[in-house]
Amino acid sequence: MTDMERTISVVVNGVPREATVPVRWLLSDALRHGFGLTGTHVGCEHGVCGSCTVLVDGQPTRSCLVLAVQMDGHEITTVEGLSRSDHQGGQVLHPIQEAFRECHALQCGFCTPGFLTTIAAGLDARDPSVEITDEEVDELVGGNLCRCTGYANIKKACRHAAATMREGAKVATPAPQDEEATR
């Protein structure tokens, strides 16, 4: 390790990891080049498009606007970490991931991870038993750029996912709140 590098300890998608990173690396660099998590896409590298959005301690964060070394001790969730393993070793997608497919909310898919992480965090943080409003949907999708879809189906997917989560909230006994949402 040179003086231009630092070792950081982070939790990435639930797994504690250590990495020695150049001090000038962005979080997006560390995720993509350090951890091989290429689902996080870099669209502008100046914090406008939102493609590179990941969750830092549950909060949507543009990974091109923070340095990797700032992440020491923090927990990061990327698009690869939105789905969860079920008890049979299969993959359970987050409702917003299912909804994106169901509603044709993606075309080229490049901006999609940023939308998914942002919207997932927003949906997880709200009371699922309450019907989502148009204003909430606009807020969830309003900060990210997409050049393919014209956003209509992304908004539709938000409503679809919220409805799924509402159904889930009705059916299930009151579930413990999502870990990330409470942090």
Where on the chain is the footprint of another protein (CB under 8 A)?
Answer: 22, 24-25, 32-33, 36-46, 48-49, 51, 78-80, 82-83, 91, 93, 97, 100-102, 104, 106-113, 116, 138, 141-155
Give least dist CB 174 to another protein, A.
Answer: 28
Give least dist CB 63 to another protein, A.
Answer: 13
**For another protein, which is the closer residue by CB, 121 or 154?**
154
**For another protein, which is the closer residue by CB, 46 or 87?**
46
**For another protein, which is the closer residue by CB, 10 or 79?**
79
**For another protein, which is the closer residue by CB, 138 or 172?**
138
For strand 91-92 and strand 84-85, is the pairing parallel, antiparallel, or unpaired? antiparallel
The Cα–Cα gap between 127 and 77 comes to 21
Place of tokens 């189906």: 153
Q: Kindly give the residue spans of alpha helices, DSSP state H, lying in the chain.
A: 27-29, 95-102, 112-125, 134-141, 152-171, 179-182
From residue 160, how far is each of 85, 91, 108 by CA, in Å?
Answer: 22, 20, 21
Record the tokens describing residue 15, joined without a space. 């797994």
Give least dist CB 173 to another protein, A.
Answer: 29
